[in-house]
Amino acid sequence: MKTTSCTLLIGLIALTCSCLAQDKLGAAPVGFDKLQTNIPHGKIDTISYPSTVVGKDRKALIYTPPGFSVKKKYPVLYLLHGIGGDEKEWFINGQPHIILDNLYAEGKIEPMLVVLPNGRAMEDDRAVGNVFDSVKVQAFARFEQDLLQDLIPFIEQNYPAYTDQEHRALAGLSMGGGQSLNFGLGNLESFAWIGGFSSAPNTKMPEELVPDAAYAKSKLKLLWISCGDEDRLITFSRRLHEHLEKDQVPHIYYVEPGGHDFKVWKNDLYWFSQKLFK
């Protein structure tokens, strides 16, 4: 009798803890995205890499963390923009360098490089004219080759980056969320940490994304799917979540208050980054 109630109690505690782990996600604390002058800061640079896929040099931004040293080795997060953006979209609207600097100051994230590419792999990759034009939308799919064949090798040859799957993360917002799920789940030999924030209609069907649950389970360290509850694109996140649940592939499905905007995506980065490379 005593053993039974004890087991019951431990079970209850375990249940409460696993729920709390999810519940801990919420609004990031006030000030998470405010510049603090009294802490060490990372650095943002613009880089240019030769793209064999597009046939020209292409731009990206890279954030190196506070205390960055070429004598160390770092994991890399590739962080992708949305349909109306380019390599500067996250930097201008999301200020990931400030969010990450603040998290470092609190010891809450692992030191990592963050690469902000231009995910529209075409000759003129600016977000001008009709950004929904089919040629431009196709260029978001084409970026898979540019990322794998050109950008990642360039980063790994020119920065002190780890070069194995377990040290590569891929995440993005909206079109970039769809890209992250498509390219990440489609190339599990290359990425272990995958995040789709408010993923767009470019997100492939769940059956195509995760045809082999056991294989996905064996390769994934983190699969993160988040969306604002007022975002009409939530259907693409929800259908993947439901498929993963059915096939028992561990993942985080985080529905938060909000729409299709940077308030949601900054909050996502705040939580997602804390789970990486640990």
Of 35-43, 56-64, 159-167, 196-204, the segment contacting ligand FER by CB under 6 A is 196-204
Q: Are strands 193-197 and 222-228 parallel, antiparallel or unpaired?
A: parallel
- x/- letters, 94..133, toward ligand FER (CB under 6 A): --------------------------------------x-
Any contact of residue 137 with ligand FER (CB under 6 A)?
yes
- x/- letters, 3..42, toward ligand FER (CB under 6 A): ----------------------------------------
Of 102-110, 148-156, 158-166, 195-203, the segment contacting ligand FER by CB under 6 A is 195-203
- In whole angstroms, the minimum distance from the beta carbon of 80 to ligand FER comes to 10
- In whole angstroms, the minimum distance from the beta carbon of 83 to ligand FER comes to 3
Any contact of residue 200 with ligand FER (CB under 6 A)?
yes
- x/- letters, 55..84, toward ligand FER (CB under 6 A): ---------------------------xx-
Binding residues (CB under 6 A) for ligand FER: these are 82-83, 132, 137, 174-175, 200-202
